Amino acid sequence: MQLTVLGRSPASPNPGEACAGYLVEGAGTRVLVDIGPGVVAQLLTRHHPDELAAVVISHMHADHMLDLVTLRYVYPWRALPADQRLRVITPPGSADQLLDLAKGVGGARHFEDTFRLSEHDGSTPLRFGELTLTPVRTQHYIPCWGFRIEADGRTLAYTADTAPCGGLADLADGPDLLLSEATLRSLDEDAAPPEPRGHLLPAEAGAVARDGGAGSLMLTHLPVDGDGSWATVLAAQSYERDVAVAEPGRTYEV
């Protein structure tokens, strides 16, 4: 199984980078997980969207889904036959928000004429041939799901956006690679009490990877000034092993 980082930026993008977008390839199948601003341009340097089995979205914040608008413009302005439409899977309860977005950018059928839209149910594995994504609910400011992705005998766990929670521990239970957000430089950047938190410190990502026995840890969705070593140092102190930062455009073996 391979992971290609198309975008790693948080909502406030790092200069010259796309927001969240991860191309996963395994068992002869390609799936794009999240499609934040700038991701489609990066995808097109490698594959036409028709080469994807699906686009799967973790949650409906703009930095994880807004390039659906751009993706629509890759296709002609005519309704495609249903069996030729790209499969797009969004979180439970997202249909109304997607419809509002469609109306705002091109009309109610802006997406429906090109994509086969559906929602996952929050727990049932999504199967694309021999590649499987299992959604796991995380703790964020809005409903959000990470994914355990399995193919070729390997497991990639993607946290999406999350604070420390039981779902995060479930995601990090023994994957070969834990792809974890590490958005916060300090807790002052997260929601203030009594509001629930929504993101991780690098040290928290490291502790989760250590406690779950993750084979390796890669940080993403973080502000990067230079090489990102500010985050890897903090995460490694908890993980007690070397930690990588996701590099845009790079492909990794899981």
Q: Give the pLDDT score at 31.
A: 98
Is the predicted pLDDT of residue 225 greater than 80, yes or no?
Answer: no
Nearest-angstrom CA–CA distance, 181 and 191: 16
Residue 82 — pLDDT band, cuts 50, 70, 90? confident
Q: Where are the domains of the chain?
A: 2-251
Q: Which CATH number is 2-251 given?
A: 3.60.15.10
Give the residue-averaged pLDDT of 148-165.
Answer: 98
* pLDDT one-digit tens code per residue, 181-197: 999 999 999 999 899 99
Cα dihedral 187, 5, 25, 214 in deg (nearest 10): -40
Q: Are 168 and 138 in contact (CB under 8 A)?
A: yes
**What are the strands, taking DSSP E only, across the chain?**
2-7, 21-26, 29-33, 54-56, 86-90, 115-119, 126-128, 131-138, 144-151, 154-158, 177-181, 217-220, 244-245, 251-253
In this model, does residue 138 exceed pLDDT 80? yes
Rounded average pLDDT over 199-228: 95
Q: What is the pTM (predicted TM-score) of this model?
A: 0.97
Average pLDDT, the chain: 96
Read off the DSSP letter of residue 9.
B
With residue 237 as reference, give the H or E element that holds it.
helix 229-239
Chain centroid offset of residue 84 CA: 24
How far are the Cα atoms of 23, 34, 101 from residue 246, in angstroms, in the given order? 12, 15, 30
- Predicted confidence at residue 76, as pLDDT, reads 86
pLDDT range class, residue 148, cuts 50, 70, 90: very high
pLDDT of residue 144: 98
Instruction: pLDDT band for 246, please (50, 70, 90 cuts).
Output: very high
**Residue 74, pLDDT above cutoff 90:** yes
pLDDT score, position 228: 87
Q: Which pLDDT value is given to residue 77? A: 82
The rounded distance, in Å, linking the Cα atoms of 173 and 236 is 18
Residues 56, 104, 119: CA angle, nearest 5 degrees:
25
Give me the pLDDT at residue 188, please. 95
Residue 179's beta-bridge partner residues?
Answer: 158, 218
The DSSP result for 38-86, as a single string, is THHHHHTTT--GGG-SEEE-S--SHHHHTTHHHHHTTS-SSPPPGGGSE
pLDDT value at 240 more than 90:
yes
